[in-house]
Amino acid sequence: MSIQAEIRKTYGDFKLDIKLDSSSKRIGILGASGCGKSMTLKSIAGIGQPDSGRICIEGKTVYDSAQKINWKPQKRKIGYLFQNYALFPTMTVEANIGAGVRGTKAEKKERTSEMIRKFRLEGLESRLPGQLSGGQQQRVALARIMAYRPEMILLDEPYSALDVYLRDRLQQEMQEMLEDYDGTVILVSHSRDEIYRFSQELLVMDQGTIIRSGSVKEIFADPKRVEAARISGCKNIVKIRRVDAHTIDIPDWCVSLVMKRTVPEDITHIGFRAHDFIPVWGERKENCIAAEVGSIAELPFERKYFIKGAAKGAEEICWFVQRELLGILEEKGMPEFLEMPEEKILLLK
């Protein structure tokens, strides 16, 4: 399984310019709205045409501007799951699933029946899409894609319009239904949780380019770029001044951090995730900030503290405390300091 792509496209003031080379079976593309994620998928699928570049899927060149190659979407054998599933509203479940199947009438019926069983749609064959729940519509859309045996499946923010409960349930269903699919699946999302659960490899996009790529766990542990840290959910990102190879100043927090590892010269910011602070009561330890609370937000399973930045006009620092620690805070009171373990400090540029 592999995909190689160089895609360049200008759309008004927006420029898409990406390079992708992956043999992973499950690829996630994470980025804010408008960064070019969907445009990338449409270029791969052949729904949209780049201005220039080259796209190879499973060793087959499906688009090459220099060689004037541009396969039609049907020939590329790519399944595309849209946000709204794009089911034919006046066609039954059975007809929707069978729409893309090729072969004799008997072969089409057999393949359609196989997909109805596989995706647990028995008893719904005669219903129209408007008579189905969101989860049933998703299963029909995926069954229709799988019916014609695609070599690659593209998921374009398929859960974006759903509430949290339904989104979580359908994500799990999707993963289960795709477990025995051997082709490449690319999921586009602006939700870090969706991407983290689904993907082996992650591409982080910002303003039309891929700014970071690698394994999902590696990128969340070490985003390297400010934009990648922010889109991966890091709440505390602050400018720093590098003093020497092992010391940095944070003017907004009025604190210096001493590091065992070497701080590269091109580092301009640090990031620190809101759940990683360690409360310190009593004497100040190394790499601590004063825990002066500005405001508090109560949630069902955690409490969010917004710590005042020490410098005038500095942004508040987010400290998110999960339920298991709340009892200790109730007993001991607010800590004097919050410690930042070195291994949790993200060095960013």
pLDDT digits (tens, 9 = 90+) for 201-227: 999 999 999 999 999 999 999 999 999
CATH superfamily of 3-225: P-loop containing nucleotide triphosphate hydrolases (3.40.50.300)
38, 29, 39, 41: which is closest to 9 by C-alpha?
39
pLDDT given for residue 116 in this prediction: 93
Of 165 and 69, the one with more pLDDT: 69
85, 276, 234: which is closest to 162 by C-alpha?
85
Sign of CA dihedral 106, 112, 116, 119: positive
pLDDT at 173 over 80: no
pLDDT given for residue 333 in this prediction: 92
The pTM of the full predicted model, rounded to 2 decimals, is: 0.87
pLDDT given for residue 223 in this prediction: 96
* Confidence tier at 120 by pLDDT (50, 70, 90): confident
Q: How far apart are CA 349 and CA 347, in angstroms?
A: 7
Q: How far apart are CA 86 and CA 94, in angstroms?
A: 15
* Confidence tier at 138 by pLDDT (50, 70, 90): confident
pLDDT given for residue 169 in this prediction: 76
SS (H, E, C) 233-283: CCCEEEECEEEECCEEEEHHHCEEEECCCCCCCCCCEEEECCCCCEEECCC
Kindly state the helix (H) or strand (E) to which residue 56 belongs, with its residue range: strand 52-57
pLDDT given for residue 248 in this prediction: 97
Sequence spans of domains, the chain: 3-225, 236-348
What's the token pair of residue 121?
Answer: 């749609």
Of 257 and 161, the one with more pLDDT: 257
Give pLDDT tens digits for 24-63.
Answer: 999 999 998 899 999 999 999 999 999 999 999 989 999 9
- The rounded mean pLDDT for the chain is 92
User: Would you call 41 helix, strand, or coil by DSSP?
Assistant: helix
